[in-house]
Structure 1
Amino acid sequence: MRGFKRLVSAAGHAFTPHSHDSADKTDAALESSSRGMRVLAISFAALMITAVAQAVIVAFSGSVALLGDTLHNFADALTAIPLAIAFSVGRRAATRRFTYGYGRAEDLAGIVIVLLIALSAALAGYEAAKRLLDPQDVRALAWVAVAGFVGFLGNELVARYRIKVGRQIGSAALVADGLHARTDGFTSLAVLAGAGGAALGFPVVDPIVGLLITVAIVFVLRDAAREIYHRLMDAVDPKLVEQAEQALAAVSGVRRVGSVRLRWIGHVLRAEVDIQVDHRLPLIEAHAVAVEAEHRLIHDVPRLKAATVHADPDGPAAAEHHAVLLAHRQYSSITDVLRVDLDVTGTPTPQ
């Protein structure tokens, strides 16, 4: 009866309009990278035009608030370069040395982005502090105000574009870069405040706004560094783990769900999971349960590209199926030890 149900399920799957063929997966990954490259090229051009226009106005206005915003816009535009390199490298096929492929190049690009943001913060802060100690009149206030508004508009358009496509292709780096651009837009609006203060006869407002922009850049730097740290440490949203556990528990033949481990490699997820099945199942049927578990994970967990599913026998009572491995395993906490014992016997044994 169980074999008949699996046959019906397989037949239904065959007529369902989707595919998990390796070539289809490769095509999807390449398409995602291609879309990311297009976004980076267009946003790079838009931000460079914005920053160059602002730099011209900085040259004849002397506004350090606008200078800080211009430097930040240049830095934001330049973040497209390491990301583009990462997308390009990430297209390479896995090798015997890089068995998971080159998706981690996005994390390396993230480190470069963090360093560029830090450099823009340092330059903006230095110029603002120098001008605060030696105040100077700001000229062409109307043009400074226009440049601030142009900076806001350019950054907001780029932010929306990056965030939209980043979410569609599952690139956290691209989404984070879009949020970075949106923050830049709001710092551009702060330039208007500096121009307004100078117009009212308070030139000191301009370097003060420059310092405030520097503080805003530092907050962006903190958030970006935290995102990259999480990626480097293989952190994932706990909700994704819950989704994976629920998907596995719903698979026919899975008695219990063991450990679930997820990690981002570029803009796709990979999983390693343990499940418990009836110890009386023949090898072929136990394998079929594991295959269905992977299939369900790919469908139910967003951006999951592949999963390694390990099936443990659930029983008989008091059996220790991992006895030969216990001396080689190192556990980080007592809960891990109990988890292994529960996986195999259903009751914890003293350690």
Structure 2
Amino acid sequence: MAFGAHLVTPHSHDSADKTDTALESSSRGLRVLGLSFAILAATAVVQAVIVAFSGSVALLGDTLHNFADALTAVPLGIAFWLGRRAATRRFTYGYGKAEDLAGLVIVVIIAASAVLAGYEAIQRLLDPQEVRQLGWVAGAGLVGFLGNEWVARYRIRVGREIGSAALVADGLHARTDGFTSLAVLLGAGGAALGYPIADPVIGLLITLAIALVLRNAAREIYHRLMDAVDPALLDQAERVLSQTPGVRGVGAVRLRWIGHTLRAEVEIQVDHDLSLVESHAVAVEAEHRLIHQVARLRAATVHADPHGPRDADYHERLNRHRETTTA
């Protein structure tokens, strides 16, 4: 059999290899966060200065959003740093789930920026004020768009490459920020044409855009907290297992995200007359193929059940126990 080589050859994907890959992913995430934080913070500071002497509430909303987007790098950075720590006897799966907790903090920050931007826009509608230095306001909106779009592309690309839902969500957040920055140009244009109400109206539209980002980010984080995975990943894992030499059948397949890496728990069936060593070799080969062919999968627990003879029930005792506990 092809898996027979594993009887005498050690499995090449040891825990050190997997740990090195996970650490490299976290390092890339930290680099992305550091650079994007610097760019967004600089963008927000420039906009804040212009807000101070222009009085534009639309630009204020965009500035608040950019500050919030920069701040989201802080909890994510802490999460990536924690994710680099080794598993312990208490946290046996490591600290990867800190990314999901960071996602919750990001959702709260986005929500706070939406509330503050909406409040300021409504206040300006009730008490209109002249917007000054419209050229500077328009320029600040353009700067905000360019900064956010660059950060968005960077975060989304790296987030997808390393499998970080929180980083991808943060990138989508930055992209929406870019379009809200362009909306500032509309507010400045409306004010220049003699419609000062355009500025707070654009501020309200920006608030709506932030709320839409909030909904999408909250849904993404909810899926991770509930251990949701793309069903296509399950299909792929089942195909890999069914094509592994020595596997006679595939039982339950479970996948879950631990931070930005996947872990699997799978059940396979092997010939009932194989020795323990031979059955283990099939299981090792199955894990080997899963790690190679399923993106971002770092480890798999493979349980081998005997296949045959006919009418044999190797789980009779467990089945009776389950029936008793669920009755």
Shorter-chain TM-score above 0.5: yes
2:3 aligned with 1:6: yes
Q: Secondary structure at the match of 2:149?
A: helix
2:45 aligned with 1:52: yes
1: CA distance between counterparts of 2:262 and 2:304? 21
After superposing on structure 2, the runs of 4+ consecutive aligned residues of structure 1 that deviate more than 4 Å are: 7-11
Q: Secondary structure at the match of 2:182?
A: helix
Higher RCO structure, 1 or 2 (CA under 8 Å, sep 6+)? 2
Q: Secondary structure at the match of 2:251?
A: strand
Match of 1:142 in 2: 135
CA deviations on 1:20-40 (whole Å, 9 max, x unpaired) are 132222222212111111111
2:149 aligned with 1:156: yes
Of 262, 280, 283 in structure 2, the residue corresponding to residue 287 of structure 1 is 280
Question: Where do 5+ consecutive residues of structure 2 fail to align?
Answer: none
2:63 aligned with 1:66: no
2:123 aligned with 1:130: yes
Moved more, 33-42 or 95-104: 33-42
Of 100, 112, 115 in structure 2, the residue corresponding to residue 107 of structure 1 is 100
1: CA distance between counterparts of 2:137 and 2:320? 70
Match of 2:295 in 1: 302
1: CA distance between counterparts of 2:295 and 2:166? 16
Query: Using a 3 Å threshold, how does the CA distance of structure 1 residues 268 and 194 change in structure 2: closer, same or farther?
Result: same
| Correspondences of 1:189-338 after superposition (within 5 Å) | 189-329=182-322
Question: Where do 5+ consecutive residues of structure 1 fail to align?
Answer: 334-350
2: CA distance between counterparts of 1:202 and 1:85? 45
**Normalized against structure 1, the TM-score is what?**
0.89
1: CA distance between counterparts of 2:103 and 2:164? 12
Could you say what the CA RMSD is over the residues aligned between the two structures, in angstroms?
2.0
| Structure 1 residue identity aligned to 2:29 | G
> Structure 1 residue 19: deviation in Å?
4.5
> Structure 1 residue 324: deviation in Å?
1.4
> Structure 1 residue 151: deviation in Å?
0.2
2:158 aligned with 1:165: yes
> Structure 1 residue 175: deviation in Å?
1.6
CA deviations on 1:60-87 (whole Å, 9 max, x unpaired) are 1111110000000000000000000001
2: CA distance between counterparts of 1:138 and 1:328? 73
> Structure 1 residue 319: deviation in Å?
1.8
1: CA distance between counterparts of 2:195 and 2:241? 65
**Normalized against structure 2, the TM-score is what?**
0.96
2:76 aligned with 1:83: yes
Q: Secondary structure at the match of 2:306?
A: strand
Aligned residues with identical type, % of pairs:
75
Query: Using a 3 Å threshold, how does the CA distance of structure 1 residues 6 and 272 change in structure 2: closer, same or farther?
Result: closer
Q: Secondary structure at the match of 2:310?
A: coil
> Structure 1 residue 260: deviation in Å?
0.7
2:94 aligned with 1:97: no
2: CA distance between counterparts of 1:19 and 1:196? 63
2: CA distance between counterparts of 1:212 and 1:87? 33
Q: Secondary structure at the match of 1:176?
A: helix
Moved more, 274-283 or 181-190: 274-283
| Structure 1 residue identity aligned to 2:13 | H
2:112 aligned with 1:119: yes
Q: Secondary structure at the match of 1:136?
A: coil
2: CA distance between counterparts of 1:271 and 1:178? 27
CA deviations on 1:145-194 (whole Å, 9 max, x unpaired) are 00000000000111111122222222221122111111110110000000
> Structure 1 residue 137: deviation in Å?
1.0
| Structure 2 residue identity aligned to 1:52 | V
Q: Secondary structure at the match of 1:227?
A: helix
Give the number of equivalent residue pairs.
327
2: CA distance between counterparts of 1:180 and 1:103? 22
2: CA distance between counterparts of 1:36 and 1:314? 44
